[in-house]
Structure 1
């Protein structure tokens, strides 16, 4: 579900709902190709084949638009907290989602988006602030709620530091997205994730080989 900030509708022709997806897709493509500095509203509007005013009716700033475009790309990746499976089956949820997560870790566009976002910090702090406030913070709260239920169900240790656990998982995934081999394959990514979740206590230990 998009968390795009709606702007008050202006006079004239009714809004075209289909323009939202076109603008987000264009913003993502322009960000990947030109970076934050080159991702102007004018360039994005031209790529989406809409007028600049159409963009400004939906987003009050370039930073908010780019933050939503990055999140729109991530929405295709399912999160464990978006399932309806009981928390005690969190290891099973992870097993079922591993193929999709592994494919995402080697997706060139996602890897470039991650690099663009993290590299924007020193020169474009408003982008990181917008993404943190509107996307990362709510996502983290949902993850914490899922891990609390898993801890209460006995999947995790009663004294597990859930905030630190999330930081460790996020850090490991960022490291893989940014520093893995130039052409990683899904099998290698899956092996990495399996070892990561096993180390975090979110997956059963590997069976001993006879």
Structure 2
């Protein structure tokens, strides 16, 4: 991942292979600091110290604080529905061989793991930190939006467009607005005070996704 919000993650440099253990430690440290101390307390030096590596080691992997924190957030959301359903490619070519029902079933199967992630207090703290950085660290939100939100949005829009074309949703459905309302409902639920029960959240996810046409009727 690069510090350029519109850029793509650069290829891994040649030379000595990167240490997976260092990658894991750095991302875990970044998640912990972002969740507890916010963006201001999750600088490259602080992350390196928490991870037990040098600051140079961190910079070899991520060229900026924004890129590192966006990658940390993405690693925390590994259980969320995939950027693309088949694991590669960009919509719509990735889904040429799938019907709406097949795509919707894949998303439905992913919802239990998504509920695990969304019910995790650390994940919700990370989400609050990223959205709270809109004014103070707009670069972080831009990288997060480009690499975390938009790929999943494109996946969902392809599915909703196919649902409309196949008659599962009314003709003329405004899929952009429908998707915004679906995400808004989820954010509204996550913002409510108190603990979040994972099973209740899963049931709510299924209700909202089913109502929006993102998963098949029960």
TM-score, normalised with respect to structure 2: 0.79
Q: Which structure 2 residues correspond to residues 22-171 of structure 1 after superposition, within 5 A?
A: 22-79=25-82, 81-82=84-85, 86-171=99-184
Distance in 2 (CA, whole Å) between partners of 1:92 and 1:135 is 22
Where do residues 168-183 of structure 1 align in structure 2 (5 Å cutoff)? 168-179=181-192, 181-183=193-195
Rounded to whole Å, the distance in 2 between the matches of 1:159 and 1:81 is 25
CA distance in 2, matches of 1:172, 1:135: 19
Is there any run of 5+ residues in structure 2 with no aligned partner, and where? Answer: 3-7, 87-94
Deviation at 1:90, TM superposition (A): 4.7
Give the unaligned 5+ runs of structure 1: none
Radius of gyration: which is bigger? 1
Is contact 1:88–1:154 with CA below 8 Å preserved after alignment? no
2:89 corresponding residue in structure 1:
none
Give the stretch that moved more between structures: 132-141 or 61-70. Answer: 132-141
Shift in Å, 1:202? 3.9
How far residue 9 of structure 1 moved from its aligned partner, in angstroms, is 4.5
Structure-2 residue corresponding to 1:186 = 198
Q: 1:28 and 1:15, CA in 2 relative to 1: closer, same or farther beyond 3 A?
A: same
Q: 1:131 to 1:173 in 2, by over 3 A?
A: same
Q: 1:134 to 1:191 in 2, by over 3 A?
A: closer
Going from structure 1 to structure 2, the CA distance change for 1:26 and 1:101 (only over 3 Å counts) comes to: same
Residues 80 and 64 of structure 1, relative CA distance in 2, 3 Å threshold: closer
Moved more, 58-67 or 186-195: 186-195
CA shift for structure 1 position 94: 4.5
TM-score (norm 1): 0.82
For residues 55 and 7 of structure 1, the distance between their equivalents in structure 2, rounded to whole angstroms, comes to 16
Q: Could you tell me whether the CA contact under 8 Å between 1:104 and 1:110 is conserved in 2?
A: yes
1:12-27 equivalent positions in 2, closer than 5 A: 14-18=16-20, 19-27=22-30
- Structure 1 residue 37: Cα displacement: 0.5
Tell me what 2:92 maps to.
none
Measure the CA separation in 2 of the matches of 1:139 and 1:203.
15
- Contact 1:81–1:146 (Cα < 8 Å) also in 2: no
Give per-residue Cα distances to partners, 1:41-94, cap 9 Å, x unaligned.
Answer: 111011222111111122121011101111111123234952586322455445
